[in-house]
Each structure stands twice: as structure tokens, then as C-alpha cells.
Structure 1
Amino acid sequence: SPRDVYTGSIGYILPNNDMMFNVAIRTISKYHNEKFAQFGAGGGITIQSNTLDEWNEIKIKTKFITNFYKTKFGIVESMLFKDNNIQNIDKHLNRLKNTADHLLFECNLEQINNRVLQYIKNEKLSDTCKLRLELDYQHNLLIEHCAIAKAKQPIRVGLLKHKIDTSHFMFKYKTTSPLTRGLYTELHNKYTNDEVDEIIFVNQNNEITESRFFNIIIEYQGRLITPPLSCGLLPGIFRQTMIDNDELVEEIITPNMLKSATRLYLCNYVRGLIDCVFIGEIG
């Protein structure tokens, strides 16, 4: 990425010649037309560089931010326990680690994996169930499980007319943040009823994104397609598995495409592919 503000000096001189300057090494920038501030940290890579050393150096450079950055939301991962194993546990834990790295959480995958295996042993899990992890900023790990209710298919899905601004980077991560998943839960509770089981969201560009807990797949003109991550949605593991197997392609989906689709599905790794019927716009 571009280096942006780096070295030199930034400051001001008052009419009475009072002045204040700094050395632009650790600089937070906010442009007048942007919502968020930015801070960059990096290093010079040479042929003798070591990946872990470079990463640890970046963590040192950002420590002054992590000292006051104390988030209250947690990072969530939901997994399928089946046949005495957690299905695709490596992919789930890698997604958890990726989210933790981007959101400045400490995350030791070996310790988390051991905790999960110990939980399964202590709870004597054997039946198929959903296993949920929640990691908070203070390194506390909550593990719980529940039975997977069988949903009647097809489920009835409506498209929310209200557009959601998914430009916030948090929409890419599975957390308990009220800005993203919390907002989706609030809207889900408001608009679902005896006639609507799930709602699909559309972003500020009039592009279909996702549902509260599910990625979206439609059959359109003989192909199975799903919105790209750039529309503002979670990188679902079931979704990615279908893409890797050449069963699914990414393409922007408009509301008109959704209405014209020959099949509609919701999906996640716990519940798999769920057949749906589109009932129209709501809200």
C-alpha cells in the first residue's frame, strides 16, 4: 500500500511566532471527505528479512494505538460438530485469526484449538450440533453449543427496501458489533413475522449483500451466483467451498436479478444450502 504520511515534520506557526512541530513517524490521518481515520505501520523488506520479525516490529509500532483501543464487541465463529469432529475446523480458526489480526485482538490458535477439544471432551458431545466461539478483546474465550433446529424448506425470504451502507470495514468480519451484525439482528427482529422467515439486505449501491446469518446464492440464467465480498458481506466458508469447487461464481446481484432468479438459496456451514422462496420487498 502507499506509504502516505511519513517522516519530515508536521506542525504550525502562530502569528506571534509560537510554534509546535512533530516528526511524522506515527501519524493518524483523517481527510475531510472520509468517515474514518487511518494509521499506517510497516517496514522495509530486504532479502534478509524474517516474516515473524517484521510482523512483531509492526505490532510494536502500533502498540500506542492498542493501548487505548479497548473494544467491547467480540469475534464470533460458528462451526458444525458432526461425526465426532468439527467440520473444516482449520478454515474456521484461520478466519477467526484473520479477523483477530485485522481488529487488533490477540489470538493464539493452538490455545483456542486445545480449549475447543477440551470442551468437546468435557461436554461429551456426540450428536450433531452447532459449536459457537466468542473471543473478546481481553482474551476471554466463550464456548457453547446447541442443537440445530430443522427448518421447514423452502423458507420465505423478503428483500428489505431500506438500503444498508456496507462501506464500513466491519461488515467483512463476524463480530457482535452493534454497527453490523447487531444492526442486522435488529432489522431481522423488526421485519420478520408469520409470513417472513428471513430478510435479504441491499447496500447503498443497490446491490444484494447477505442475510443475517447467511450468504445468498441465486440461480440466474442457468448459473449459480453469489455477491462478491466487495459488496459488503461475510466471507462464508460454505460459500467459499462452493467457489473453490467451481460450483459457484461471484457476480453483483441486483434486486431485479433476485426477482428474476429461478432458484434462491441461503447458506452457511452449519446449516448448509437452504432452499428459499422469494415473497417480495418488505419494509
Structure 2
Amino acid sequence: MPLKVRLAKNAVDSSNPFLYHKTTHRQVYDSALREFPDYDDVILWNEKGEITESCIANVVVFIDGQFATPPISCGLLNGVYRAYLLERNEIKERKIYREEIEKVEDVYLINSVRKWQKVELAKFAKKL
């Protein structure tokens, strides 16, 4: 079943060191989730309008004929499963901008526990 996901209301600061490490310092994530209690997760974006990650997973989109995930420099955790897929060339790094979300063919959330979870694009796009 596709996840019910939405974009965060506010940008994250890509220079925030806590975004790059798995930590108990989760205020950014907890705050984003509290804003949308009826959603499964929230996709974050930075001050440059670049998609970063979700509150519990890395983001992968299918765009321009390939699976792409934002580069670490956008402000995100280099998840274990993300790193594995990059190493195997199953996904590529590419900046993904907020405006592009409606144009991508598919959106997925990935992590080492849940693997690939599809976000239903129609529901996702309508809520922008």
C-alpha cells in the first residue's frame, strides 16, 4: 500500500550537523511530523528548495529514465540502504527540486528496514 506523504511546510537548514548523523536529536523531524498527523511521513527540503529526505527514510524518485536520490550535500543522512544502492549503481545522485516533485514518475522512501516504499504520486502531488 502506498504511503501517504506530504512535503514539509518549512525548509531545513542544510548546514545543520544533526541532519548528517543518526542521533536522538530529532526536533526537525518530530516537528515536521507533528504538522501533519494524518500522514505516514513528511518529505523535507532545504533552504535552496532541494529535496533532502523524509523523517524516517531517504528519498528516491524515478525521473528522466533513472532512479535518483539527493546528494548528501543537500542535508541528509547517508542511509545504509541508500549507500548500498548507490554502490550497486541502482540509483544515482541528483539534486531534486520541490518544483520537480509533480513531474517525477514515481516517489519512493527507502531505508534498510523497510527497503522500497512507494509514495502514491497523485495523492502526494495534490497536497503540495
TM-score by length of 1: 0.43
Larger Rg: 1
Equivalent residue of 1:163, what SS?
coil
1:186 deviation in Å?
2.3
- Structure 2: how far apart are the matches of 1:213 and 1:243? 19
- Residue 33 of structure 2 is aligned to residue 185 of structure 1: no
Q: Is the 8 A contact 2:5 2:42 kept in 1?
A: yes
- Residue 69 of structure 2 is aligned to residue 226 of structure 1: yes
- Structure 1: how far apart are the matches of 2:33 and 2:54? 9
Q: Is the 8 A contact 1:158 1:198 kept in 2?
A: yes
- Residue 99 of structure 2 is aligned to residue 251 of structure 1: no
Q: Is the 8 A contact 1:155 1:276 kept in 2?
A: yes
Q: Which ranges in structure 2 are unaligned for 5 or more consecutive residues? A: none
1:160 deviation in Å?
1.7
Using CA pairs under 8 Å that are at least 6 residues apart, name the structure with larger relative contact order, 1 or 2: 2
1:231 deviation in Å?
0.3
Equivalent residue of 2:19, what SS?
helix
Identity of aligned residues (%): 31
Q: Which residue of 181, 184, 204 maps to 2:47?
A: 204
Equivalent residue of 1:171, what SS?
helix
1:154 deviation in Å?
0.8
The AA in structure 1 aligned to 2:53 is E
1:192 deviation in Å?
2.9
Between the two proteins, the alignment pairs up a number of residues equal to: 125
Q: Over the residues paired in the alignment, what is the CA RMSD in angstroms?
A: 1.3
1:182 deviation in Å?
2.2
**Per-residue deviation, residues 56-77 of structure 1 (Å, max 9, x unmatched):** xxxxxxxxxxxxxxxxxxxxxx
- Residue 58 of structure 2 is aligned to residue 215 of structure 1: yes
Match of 1:108 in 2: none
Q: Which ranges in structure 1 are unaligned for 5 or more consecutive residues? A: 1-152
Match of 1:277 in 2: 120
Equivalent residue of 1:162, what SS?
coil
